[in-house]
Structure 1
Amino acid sequence: MRYFGKVAYNGTQYVGWQQQPNGRSVQGLIEDALSKVIRQPTAVVGCGRTDAGVHASCYFFHFDCDFPLEKGKALRQFNGILPEDILFLDLFEVDDEAHARFDATGRTYRYYLTAHQDPFRSETAFFYREMHKLDVTILREVSRLILNSESFFPFTKSDTDLKHYRCNLMQAGWHKISSKVLYFEVKANRFLRGMVRLMTGACLNAATGRITVKEIDFALRNQQRLEKAWSVPAHGLYLTDIEYPYLKSIEKSDIFEPFGPISQ
Protein backbone atom coordinates (compact mmCIF):
# COMPACT_ATOMS: atom_id res chain seq x y z
CA MET A 1 0.00 0.00 0.00
CA ARG A 2 1.25 3.48 -0.83
CA TYR A 3 0.67 6.53 1.33
CA PHE A 4 1.29 10.24 0.94
CA GLY A 5 2.41 12.02 4.08
CA LYS A 6 2.02 15.77 4.56
CA VAL A 7 4.32 17.58 6.97
CA ALA A 8 5.35 21.09 8.01
CA TYR A 9 8.79 21.87 9.38
CA ASN A 10 11.07 24.62 10.59
CA GLY A 11 14.30 24.04 8.67
CA THR A 12 16.60 26.01 10.98
CA GLN A 13 18.31 23.03 12.59
CA TYR A 14 18.58 20.87 9.47
CA VAL A 15 20.94 20.41 6.52
CA GLY A 16 17.80 20.40 4.37
CA TRP A 17 15.12 17.90 3.49
CA GLN A 18 17.37 15.30 1.91
CA GLN A 19 19.51 12.77 3.72
CA GLN A 20 23.16 13.87 3.90
CA PRO A 21 26.25 11.86 4.93
CA ASN A 22 26.96 14.36 7.70
CA GLY A 23 24.19 16.34 9.30
CA ARG A 24 20.63 16.12 10.54
CA SER A 25 17.98 16.02 7.80
CA VAL A 26 14.19 16.22 7.87
CA GLN A 27 13.97 13.12 5.68
CA GLY A 28 16.16 11.15 8.07
CA LEU A 29 14.01 11.92 11.10
CA ILE A 30 10.77 11.15 9.26
CA GLU A 31 12.13 7.82 8.01
CA ASP A 32 13.21 6.99 11.56
CA ALA A 33 9.73 7.80 12.95
CA LEU A 34 7.97 5.79 10.23
CA SER A 35 10.27 2.82 10.73
CA LYS A 36 9.56 2.77 14.46
CA VAL A 37 5.78 2.99 14.06
CA ILE A 38 5.53 0.56 11.13
CA ARG A 39 8.20 -1.67 12.69
CA GLN A 40 10.12 -2.20 9.49
CA PRO A 41 12.73 -0.10 7.63
CA THR A 42 10.79 2.54 5.69
CA ALA A 43 12.19 4.88 3.05
CA VAL A 44 10.36 7.97 1.80
CA VAL A 45 10.43 9.83 -1.52
CA GLY A 46 9.94 13.58 -1.16
CA CYS A 47 8.24 16.06 -3.46
CA GLY A 48 11.55 17.89 -3.85
CA ARG A 49 14.53 19.26 -1.99
CA THR A 50 14.69 22.20 0.37
CA ASP A 51 18.10 23.59 1.28
CA ALA A 52 19.56 24.02 4.75
CA GLY A 53 17.57 26.56 6.74
CA VAL A 54 14.57 26.60 4.36
CA HIS A 55 11.15 25.92 5.89
CA ALA A 56 8.04 24.15 4.63
CA SER A 57 4.44 24.71 5.68
CA CYS A 58 3.30 22.06 3.19
CA TYR A 59 5.57 19.21 2.14
CA PHE A 60 4.50 15.87 0.66
CA PHE A 61 6.32 12.56 0.46
CA HIS A 62 5.31 8.98 -0.29
CA PHE A 63 6.15 5.68 1.34
CA ASP A 64 4.99 2.07 1.14
CA CYS A 65 3.53 -0.05 3.92
CA ASP A 66 2.46 -3.71 3.91
CA PHE A 67 -0.68 -3.09 5.97
CA PRO A 68 -3.34 -0.36 6.30
CA LEU A 69 -2.68 2.52 8.69
CA GLU A 70 -5.38 4.11 10.84
CA LYS A 71 -4.76 7.79 10.19
CA GLY A 72 -5.58 9.32 13.56
CA LYS A 73 -3.58 6.78 15.52
CA ALA A 74 -0.65 6.88 13.08
CA LEU A 75 -0.42 10.69 13.19
CA ARG A 76 -0.36 10.66 16.99
CA GLN A 77 2.38 8.03 16.97
CA PHE A 78 4.49 9.83 14.36
CA ASN A 79 4.22 13.18 16.15
CA GLY A 80 5.06 11.52 19.45
CA ILE A 81 8.43 10.55 18.00
CA LEU A 82 9.24 13.55 15.80
CA PRO A 83 10.84 16.68 17.31
CA GLU A 84 8.67 19.76 17.85
CA ASP A 85 9.98 21.52 14.73
CA ILE A 86 8.52 18.82 12.45
CA LEU A 87 4.75 18.27 12.41
CA PHE A 88 3.04 15.38 10.63
CA LEU A 89 -0.15 17.03 9.33
CA ASP A 90 -1.97 14.40 7.30
CA LEU A 91 -1.87 10.97 5.73
CA PHE A 92 -3.54 9.82 2.49
CA GLU A 93 -3.77 6.40 0.88
CA VAL A 94 -3.01 6.72 -2.85
CA ASP A 95 -2.60 4.45 -5.88
CA ASP A 96 0.49 2.27 -5.90
CA GLU A 97 1.87 4.21 -8.88
CA ALA A 98 1.46 7.66 -7.30
CA HIS A 99 4.73 9.58 -6.97
CA ALA A 100 5.27 12.55 -4.66
CA ARG A 101 7.88 14.19 -6.87
CA PHE A 102 6.94 13.34 -10.45
CA ASP A 103 3.16 13.75 -10.08
CA ALA A 104 3.30 17.26 -8.60
CA THR A 105 1.79 19.78 -11.02
CA GLY A 106 2.45 22.94 -9.04
CA ARG A 107 4.81 24.13 -6.31
CA THR A 108 4.52 27.43 -4.44
CA TYR A 109 7.20 29.27 -2.47
CA ARG A 110 7.06 32.42 -0.37
CA TYR A 111 9.99 34.56 0.73
CA TYR A 112 9.36 36.79 3.77
CA LEU A 113 11.02 40.14 4.47
CA THR A 114 10.52 42.21 7.59
CA ALA A 115 11.66 45.75 8.34
CA HIS A 116 11.29 45.12 12.06
CA GLN A 117 14.14 43.47 13.95
CA ASP A 118 12.51 40.70 15.96
CA PRO A 119 14.69 38.23 17.88
CA PHE A 120 11.82 35.74 17.94
CA ARG A 121 11.60 35.67 14.13
CA SER A 122 15.29 35.93 13.38
CA GLU A 123 15.35 32.40 11.94
CA THR A 124 11.96 32.42 10.19
CA ALA A 125 11.93 35.73 8.26
CA PHE A 126 14.68 37.88 6.74
CA PHE A 127 15.26 41.17 8.56
CA TYR A 128 15.90 43.48 5.60
CA ARG A 129 17.44 46.74 6.73
CA GLU A 130 16.81 48.52 3.43
CA MET A 131 13.06 47.95 3.26
CA HIS A 132 12.49 51.72 3.37
CA LYS A 133 14.53 52.13 0.17
CA LEU A 134 12.48 49.71 -1.92
CA ASP A 135 10.78 51.04 -5.03
CA VAL A 136 7.58 48.98 -5.08
CA THR A 137 6.95 49.83 -8.72
CA ILE A 138 10.29 48.26 -9.65
CA LEU A 139 9.54 45.18 -7.54
CA ARG A 140 6.34 44.63 -9.48
CA GLU A 141 8.03 45.34 -12.82
CA VAL A 142 10.71 42.72 -12.18
CA SER A 143 8.18 40.15 -10.96
CA ARG A 144 6.16 40.64 -14.17
CA LEU A 145 9.34 40.20 -16.21
CA ILE A 146 10.08 36.97 -14.35
CA LEU A 147 6.52 35.71 -14.79
CA ASN A 148 6.67 36.26 -18.55
CA SER A 149 9.95 34.36 -18.94
CA GLU A 150 10.32 30.69 -19.83
CA SER A 151 13.97 29.82 -19.14
CA PHE A 152 15.81 30.69 -15.93
CA PHE A 153 19.54 30.02 -16.25
CA PRO A 154 20.33 33.44 -14.67
CA PHE A 155 18.58 32.27 -11.49
CA THR A 156 20.54 29.06 -10.87
CA LYS A 157 23.54 28.33 -8.71
CA SER A 158 26.86 28.45 -10.54
CA ASP A 159 27.46 24.69 -10.29
CA THR A 160 24.07 23.77 -11.81
CA ASP A 161 24.28 21.70 -15.01
CA LEU A 162 20.94 20.70 -16.54
CA LYS A 163 19.67 19.72 -19.98
CA HIS A 164 17.37 22.73 -19.92
CA TYR A 165 16.39 25.57 -17.60
CA ARG A 166 12.74 25.94 -18.57
CA CYS A 167 10.05 26.30 -15.93
CA ASN A 168 6.37 27.06 -16.36
CA LEU A 169 5.66 29.94 -14.00
CA MET A 170 2.01 30.39 -13.10
CA GLN A 171 2.39 33.14 -10.54
CA ALA A 172 5.07 35.62 -9.40
CA GLY A 173 4.41 38.74 -7.38
CA TRP A 174 5.05 40.81 -4.27
CA HIS A 175 2.47 41.11 -1.50
CA LYS A 176 2.21 43.41 1.50
CA ILE A 177 1.09 42.12 4.88
CA SER A 178 1.80 45.40 6.69
CA SER A 179 4.06 48.42 6.35
CA LYS A 180 6.79 46.29 7.91
CA VAL A 181 6.30 42.94 6.17
CA LEU A 182 6.45 41.88 2.51
CA TYR A 183 6.60 38.52 0.82
CA PHE A 184 7.44 37.35 -2.69
CA GLU A 185 5.29 34.47 -3.89
CA VAL A 186 6.07 32.34 -6.92
CA LYS A 187 4.37 29.24 -8.30
CA ALA A 188 5.68 26.92 -11.02
CA ASN A 189 5.59 23.34 -12.22
CA ARG A 190 9.21 23.00 -11.09
CA PHE A 191 12.06 25.08 -9.68
CA LEU A 192 15.79 25.06 -10.35
CA ARG A 193 18.31 24.81 -7.53
CA GLY A 194 18.57 28.16 -5.73
CA MET A 195 16.08 29.77 -8.12
CA VAL A 196 13.66 31.48 -5.72
CA ARG A 197 16.37 33.02 -3.55
CA LEU A 198 18.21 34.39 -6.60
CA MET A 199 14.96 35.75 -8.05
CA THR A 200 14.18 37.47 -4.77
CA GLY A 201 17.68 38.93 -4.61
CA ALA A 202 17.38 40.28 -8.17
CA CYS A 203 14.07 41.95 -7.32
CA LEU A 204 15.56 43.61 -4.23
CA ASN A 205 18.74 44.70 -6.03
CA ALA A 206 16.68 46.32 -8.79
CA ALA A 207 14.29 47.98 -6.33
CA THR A 208 17.23 49.57 -4.47
CA GLY A 209 19.07 50.69 -7.60
CA ARG A 210 21.95 48.21 -7.52
CA ILE A 211 20.97 46.79 -10.90
CA THR A 212 18.49 47.87 -13.55
CA VAL A 213 15.40 46.17 -14.90
CA LYS A 214 17.11 46.27 -18.31
CA GLU A 215 20.01 44.21 -16.95
CA ILE A 216 17.62 41.55 -15.67
CA ASP A 217 15.73 41.59 -18.96
CA PHE A 218 19.01 41.20 -20.91
CA ALA A 219 20.13 38.32 -18.67
CA LEU A 220 16.85 36.47 -19.16
CA ARG A 221 16.70 37.07 -22.91
CA ASN A 222 20.31 35.94 -23.42
CA GLN A 223 20.36 33.33 -20.64
CA GLN A 224 23.39 34.88 -18.96
CA ARG A 225 24.19 35.28 -15.29
CA LEU A 226 23.73 38.64 -13.61
CA GLU A 227 26.96 40.37 -12.60
CA LYS A 228 25.43 41.40 -9.28
CA ALA A 229 23.55 38.23 -8.35
CA TRP A 230 22.35 37.89 -4.77
CA SER A 231 21.04 34.71 -3.21
CA VAL A 232 19.07 35.99 -0.22
CA PRO A 233 19.42 34.11 3.10
CA ALA A 234 17.67 30.74 3.35
CA HIS A 235 15.67 31.41 6.51
CA GLY A 236 13.12 33.68 4.82
CA LEU A 237 12.03 30.99 2.36
CA TYR A 238 9.02 28.67 2.73
CA LEU A 239 7.61 25.92 0.55
CA THR A 240 3.91 26.61 1.06
CA ASP A 241 1.98 24.40 -1.35
CA ILE A 242 2.27 21.33 -3.57
CA GLU A 243 -0.49 20.41 -6.00
CA TYR A 244 -1.48 16.98 -7.31
CA PRO A 245 -4.30 16.25 -9.76
CA TYR A 246 -5.67 13.47 -7.56
CA LEU A 247 -5.57 15.47 -4.30
CA LYS A 248 -7.70 18.39 -5.50
CA SER A 249 -10.55 17.45 -3.19
CA ILE A 250 -8.32 17.42 -0.10
CA GLU A 251 -9.08 20.34 2.18
CA LYS A 252 -6.01 22.48 2.79
CA SER A 253 -5.03 23.14 6.37
CA ASP A 254 -4.09 26.60 7.58
CA ILE A 255 -0.67 27.63 6.38
CA PHE A 256 1.90 27.82 9.14
CA GLU A 257 3.74 31.08 8.52
CA PRO A 258 5.91 33.41 10.62
CA PHE A 259 3.13 36.03 10.58
CA GLY A 260 0.14 33.72 10.99
CA PRO A 261 -2.26 32.19 8.46
CA ILE A 262 -2.76 34.31 5.35
CA SER A 263 -5.98 34.33 3.35
CA GLN A 264 -5.67 32.53 0.03
Structure 2
Amino acid sequence: MRYFFEVAYNGTNYHGWQIQQNATTVQQLIEEAFAVILRAEIPIMGSGRTDTGVHCSQQYFHADLPEDIPVNNLQYKLNSYLPPDISINAILHVSEDAHARFSALSRSYEYRITLRKNPFLQNMSYFHPKSLDITTMNEAASLLIGKQDFECFSKVKTDVNNFVCDITEAQWVVEGDMLIFHITANRFLRGMVRAIVGTLLNVGKGKLRTEAFKKIIESKDRKKAGASAPAAGLFLTAVKYPREIFPE
Protein backbone atom coordinates (compact mmCIF):
# COMPACT_ATOMS: atom_id res chain seq x y z
CA MET A 1 0.00 0.00 0.00
CA ARG A 2 1.22 3.49 -0.80
CA TYR A 3 1.52 6.17 1.85
CA PHE A 4 2.54 9.82 1.90
CA PHE A 5 4.72 10.83 4.84
CA GLU A 6 4.77 14.50 5.85
CA VAL A 7 8.25 15.44 7.04
CA ALA A 8 9.91 18.55 8.48
CA TYR A 9 13.58 19.13 9.18
CA ASN A 10 16.25 21.60 10.14
CA GLY A 11 18.69 21.29 7.26
CA THR A 12 21.74 22.79 9.01
CA ASN A 13 23.49 19.44 9.55
CA TYR A 14 22.59 17.84 6.21
CA HIS A 15 23.73 17.91 2.60
CA GLY A 16 20.16 18.37 1.44
CA TRP A 17 17.40 15.84 0.94
CA GLN A 18 18.63 13.42 -1.70
CA ILE A 19 20.98 10.52 -0.97
CA GLN A 20 24.60 11.24 -1.90
CA GLN A 21 27.86 9.37 -1.58
CA ASN A 22 30.05 10.38 1.35
CA ALA A 23 27.51 12.87 2.74
CA THR A 24 24.70 12.69 5.29
CA THR A 25 21.27 13.53 3.89
CA VAL A 26 17.70 13.53 5.19
CA GLN A 27 16.53 10.81 2.79
CA GLN A 28 19.41 8.58 3.87
CA LEU A 29 18.52 8.81 7.57
CA ILE A 30 14.82 8.14 6.94
CA GLU A 31 15.57 5.07 4.83
CA GLU A 32 17.93 3.84 7.54
CA ALA A 33 15.14 4.31 10.10
CA PHE A 34 12.77 2.22 7.97
CA ALA A 35 15.39 -0.51 7.65
CA VAL A 36 15.84 -0.75 11.42
CA ILE A 37 12.17 -0.47 12.40
CA LEU A 38 10.61 -2.59 9.66
CA ARG A 39 13.64 -4.82 9.02
CA ALA A 40 13.22 -4.23 5.30
CA GLU A 41 14.66 -1.98 2.62
CA ILE A 42 11.98 0.66 1.91
CA PRO A 43 12.96 3.10 -0.86
CA ILE A 44 11.30 6.51 -0.59
CA MET A 45 10.58 9.22 -3.16
CA GLY A 46 10.52 12.85 -2.07
CA SER A 47 8.38 15.66 -3.43
CA GLY A 48 11.58 17.45 -4.42
CA ARG A 49 15.18 18.15 -3.52
CA THR A 50 16.58 20.66 -1.08
CA ASP A 51 20.19 21.82 -1.12
CA THR A 52 22.74 21.65 1.68
CA GLY A 53 21.64 23.73 4.68
CA VAL A 54 18.11 24.40 3.40
CA HIS A 55 15.25 23.83 5.84
CA CYS A 56 11.80 22.37 5.43
CA SER A 57 8.62 22.88 7.45
CA GLN A 58 6.56 20.70 5.11
CA GLN A 59 7.68 18.17 2.56
CA TYR A 60 6.26 14.81 1.53
CA PHE A 61 7.71 11.52 0.42
CA HIS A 62 5.93 8.36 -0.61
CA ALA A 63 6.72 4.78 0.30
CA ASP A 64 5.12 1.45 -0.55
CA LEU A 65 4.59 -0.67 2.55
CA PRO A 66 3.49 -4.32 2.72
CA GLU A 67 -0.16 -4.67 3.78
CA ASP A 68 0.78 -6.61 6.90
CA ILE A 69 2.75 -3.67 8.34
CA PRO A 70 0.68 -1.68 10.86
CA VAL A 71 1.05 2.07 10.46
CA ASN A 72 -0.88 3.16 13.55
CA ASN A 73 2.33 3.51 15.62
CA LEU A 74 4.85 3.84 12.79
CA GLN A 75 5.03 7.63 13.11
CA TYR A 76 5.96 7.30 16.79
CA LYS A 77 8.60 4.66 16.05
CA LEU A 78 10.17 6.67 13.24
CA ASN A 79 10.33 9.83 15.34
CA SER A 80 11.85 7.89 18.23
CA TYR A 81 14.63 6.66 15.96
CA LEU A 82 15.27 9.78 13.88
CA PRO A 83 17.45 12.63 15.24
CA PRO A 84 15.73 15.62 16.87
CA ASP A 85 16.11 17.80 13.75
CA ILE A 86 13.96 15.50 11.57
CA SER A 87 10.28 14.93 12.29
CA ILE A 88 7.57 12.79 10.66
CA ASN A 89 4.39 14.83 11.18
CA ALA A 90 1.77 12.68 9.45
CA ILE A 91 1.25 9.43 7.53
CA LEU A 92 -1.50 9.47 4.88
CA HIS A 93 -2.87 6.58 2.84
CA VAL A 94 -2.97 7.55 -0.86
CA SER A 95 -4.01 5.96 -4.13
CA GLU A 96 -1.54 3.52 -5.66
CA ASP A 97 -0.70 5.87 -8.54
CA ALA A 98 -0.09 8.91 -6.31
CA HIS A 99 3.46 10.23 -6.62
CA ALA A 100 5.07 12.59 -4.11
CA ARG A 101 6.92 14.45 -6.85
CA PHE A 102 4.82 14.22 -10.00
CA SER A 103 1.37 14.51 -8.36
CA ALA A 104 2.23 17.82 -6.66
CA LEU A 105 0.23 20.82 -7.87
CA SER A 106 2.42 23.49 -6.29
CA ARG A 107 5.29 24.11 -3.92
CA SER A 108 5.88 27.11 -1.68
CA TYR A 109 9.11 28.49 -0.26
CA GLU A 110 9.99 31.27 2.15
CA TYR A 111 13.31 33.08 2.31
CA ARG A 112 13.83 34.65 5.72
CA ILE A 113 16.07 37.64 6.30
CA THR A 114 16.66 39.10 9.74
CA LEU A 115 17.30 42.83 9.73
CA ARG A 116 18.61 42.78 13.29
CA LYS A 117 21.31 40.49 14.63
CA ASN A 118 19.67 37.64 16.52
CA PRO A 119 21.77 34.76 17.89
CA PHE A 120 18.66 32.57 18.13
CA LEU A 121 18.15 32.78 14.36
CA GLN A 122 21.67 31.73 13.46
CA ASN A 123 21.56 29.13 10.67
CA MET A 124 17.80 29.77 10.36
CA SER A 125 17.88 33.09 8.50
CA TYR A 126 20.18 35.44 6.59
CA PHE A 127 21.36 38.45 8.59
CA HIS A 128 21.29 41.56 6.38
CA PRO A 129 21.65 44.74 8.48
CA LYS A 130 21.79 47.22 5.59
CA SER A 131 18.64 49.03 4.46
CA LEU A 132 16.67 47.70 1.50
CA ASP A 133 14.08 49.33 -0.76
CA ILE A 134 11.33 46.78 -0.20
CA THR A 135 8.79 48.60 -2.38
CA THR A 136 11.07 48.38 -5.41
CA MET A 137 11.91 44.77 -4.56
CA ASN A 138 8.21 43.93 -4.70
CA GLU A 139 7.83 45.78 -8.00
CA ALA A 140 10.58 43.58 -9.44
CA ALA A 141 9.15 40.45 -7.80
CA SER A 142 5.80 41.06 -9.52
CA LEU A 143 7.57 40.50 -12.86
CA LEU A 144 8.09 36.87 -11.84
CA ILE A 145 4.36 36.11 -11.83
CA GLY A 146 3.13 33.91 -14.65
CA LYS A 147 4.35 31.10 -16.86
CA GLN A 148 7.85 31.96 -18.09
CA ASP A 149 11.26 30.57 -18.87
CA PHE A 150 13.46 31.03 -15.79
CA GLU A 151 16.72 29.60 -17.05
CA CYS A 152 18.49 32.73 -15.79
CA PHE A 153 17.82 31.59 -12.22
CA SER A 154 18.72 27.92 -12.68
CA LYS A 155 21.94 26.13 -11.87
CA VAL A 156 23.84 25.57 -15.10
CA LYS A 157 24.28 21.80 -14.79
CA THR A 158 20.79 20.33 -14.53
CA ASP A 159 18.90 17.50 -16.18
CA VAL A 160 15.53 19.19 -16.79
CA ASN A 161 13.84 19.17 -20.21
CA ASN A 162 12.80 22.82 -19.99
CA PHE A 163 13.07 25.85 -17.72
CA VAL A 164 9.41 26.96 -17.78
CA CYS A 165 7.73 27.48 -14.41
CA ASP A 166 4.36 28.98 -13.50
CA ILE A 167 4.84 31.31 -10.52
CA THR A 168 1.60 32.31 -8.76
CA GLU A 169 3.01 34.21 -5.77
CA ALA A 170 6.16 36.28 -5.30
CA GLN A 171 6.25 38.99 -2.65
CA TRP A 172 8.25 40.38 0.27
CA VAL A 173 6.54 40.85 3.63
CA VAL A 174 7.92 42.62 6.72
CA GLU A 175 7.20 40.87 10.01
CA GLY A 176 8.86 42.70 12.90
CA ASP A 177 12.62 42.41 12.42
CA MET A 178 12.12 39.80 9.69
CA LEU A 179 11.85 40.31 5.95
CA ILE A 180 10.26 37.25 4.36
CA PHE A 181 10.01 36.43 0.67
CA HIS A 182 7.04 34.21 -0.22
CA ILE A 183 7.09 32.36 -3.54
CA THR A 184 4.80 29.64 -4.93
CA ALA A 185 4.99 27.83 -8.27
CA ASN A 186 4.03 24.58 -9.95
CA ARG A 187 7.73 23.64 -10.04
CA PHE A 188 11.13 25.08 -9.23
CA LEU A 189 14.51 24.72 -10.93
CA ARG A 190 17.67 23.79 -9.05
CA GLY A 191 18.91 26.77 -7.05
CA MET A 192 16.08 28.93 -8.41
CA VAL A 193 14.75 30.56 -5.24
CA ARG A 194 18.14 31.49 -3.85
CA ALA A 195 19.16 32.97 -7.23
CA ILE A 196 15.94 35.00 -7.36
CA VAL A 197 16.44 36.28 -3.81
CA GLY A 198 20.07 37.21 -4.49
CA THR A 199 19.03 39.17 -7.58
CA LEU A 200 16.15 40.90 -5.80
CA LEU A 201 18.53 41.93 -3.02
CA ASN A 202 20.57 43.73 -5.67
CA VAL A 203 17.38 45.57 -6.60
CA GLY A 204 16.76 46.46 -2.95
CA LYS A 205 20.30 47.78 -2.56
CA GLY A 206 19.91 50.01 -5.61
CA LYS A 207 22.42 48.08 -7.70
CA LEU A 208 19.78 46.94 -10.17
CA ARG A 209 16.76 48.69 -11.65
CA THR A 210 13.40 46.98 -12.14
CA GLU A 211 13.79 47.24 -15.91
CA ALA A 212 17.16 45.50 -15.68
CA PHE A 213 15.59 42.72 -13.59
CA LYS A 214 13.08 42.13 -16.39
CA LYS A 215 15.87 41.97 -18.96
CA ILE A 216 17.68 39.37 -16.84
CA ILE A 217 14.61 37.10 -17.04
CA GLU A 218 14.41 37.63 -20.79
CA SER A 219 18.13 36.89 -21.24
CA LYS A 220 17.87 33.28 -19.94
CA ASP A 221 21.49 33.73 -18.85
CA ARG A 222 22.45 32.71 -15.30
CA LYS A 223 25.57 34.87 -15.48
CA LYS A 224 23.46 38.02 -15.70
CA ALA A 225 21.51 37.27 -12.50
CA GLY A 226 22.83 37.93 -9.01
CA ALA A 227 24.75 35.59 -6.70
CA SER A 228 22.66 33.04 -4.83
CA ALA A 229 21.53 34.05 -1.35
CA PRO A 230 22.86 31.87 1.51
CA ALA A 231 21.11 28.53 2.08
CA ALA A 232 20.33 29.13 5.76
CA GLY A 233 17.46 31.53 5.01
CA LEU A 234 15.52 29.17 2.73
CA PHE A 235 12.55 27.05 3.84
CA LEU A 236 10.31 24.73 1.85
CA THR A 237 6.99 25.48 3.53
CA ALA A 238 4.19 23.73 1.63
CA VAL A 239 3.45 21.15 -1.04
CA LYS A 240 -0.11 20.91 -2.40
CA TYR A 241 -1.78 17.86 -3.98
CA PRO A 242 -5.14 17.14 -5.64
CA ARG A 243 -7.76 15.78 -3.23
CA GLU A 244 -8.43 12.80 -5.50
CA ILE A 245 -5.23 11.02 -4.45
CA PHE A 246 -6.49 10.67 -0.87
CA PRO A 247 -9.06 7.84 -0.60
CA GLU A 248 -11.98 8.58 1.67
TM, length-normalised to structure 2:
0.94
Matches within 5 A, 1:1-264: 1-67=1-67, 69-130=69-130, 133-148=131-146, 150-160=148-158, 162-178=160-176, 180-227=177-224, 229-246=226-243
- What is the SS of the residue equivalent to 1:167? strand
Q: Percent identity at matched positions?
A: 38
CA contact (8 A) 2:115 2:178 kept: yes
| Structure 1 position 246, deviation (Å) | 2.4
Please give the alpha-carbon distance, in whole angstroms, between the structure 1 residues aligned to 2:81 and 2:113: 33
CA displacement 1:17-43 (0-9 Å, x = unmatched): 000001110000001111222221111
Cα distance in 2, alignment partners of residues 106 and 228 from structure 1: 24
Unpaired runs of 5+ residues, structure 2, are none
Mind listing any 5+ residue stretches in structure 1 that lack a counterpart?
251-264
Q: CA deviation at 1:69?
A: 4.8
Deviations 1:14-71 (A, max 9, x none): 0100000011100000011112222211110000100000000001000111125544
Q: Give the Cα–Cα distance (whole angstroms) in 2 for the partners of residues 242 and 71 of structure 1.
A: 22
Q: Over residues 133-170 of structure 1, what are the superposed CA-to-partner deviations in whole Å (9 max), with x where a residue is unaligned?
A: 21121111011011146110111123336432100111
Aligned counterparts of 1:33 and 1:27: Cα–Cα separation in 2: 10
1:196 aligned partner, one-letter code: V
Q: Is the 8 A contact 1:16 1:54 kept in 2?
A: yes
- In structure 2, what residue type is equivalent to 1:174? W
CA contact (8 A) 1:149 1:220 kept: no
Residues 183, 249 of structure 1: alpha-carbon distance in 2 compared, 3 angstrom cutoff: farther
Q: CA deviation at 1:189?
A: 0.6
Deviation at 1:216, TM superposition (A): 1.2
> Quick one: distance in 2 between partners of 1:229 and 1:83?
35
Q: Mean alpha-carbon deviation: is it higher for 20-29 or for 152-161?
A: 152-161
**SS of 2:184 mapped into structure 1:** strand
> Does the aligned pair in 2 maintain the 1:46–1:100 contact within 8 Å?
yes
Instruction: Assess if the C-alpha contact under 8 Å between 2:152 and 2:224 holds in 1.
Output: no
Partners of 2:6 and 2:85 lie apart in 1 by 14
Moved more, 153-162 or 98-107: 153-162
Number of equivalenced pairs: 247
Runs of 4+ in 1 over 4 A off after TM superposition: 68-72, 247-250
* C-alpha distance in structure 1 between counterparts of 2:129 and 2:229, whole Å: 13
Return the letter of the residue paired with 2:182: E
Q: Which moved more, 1:235-244 or 1:224-233?
A: 224-233
Deviation of the 1:13 alpha carbon: 0.3
Q: Secondary structure at the match of 2:24?
A: coil
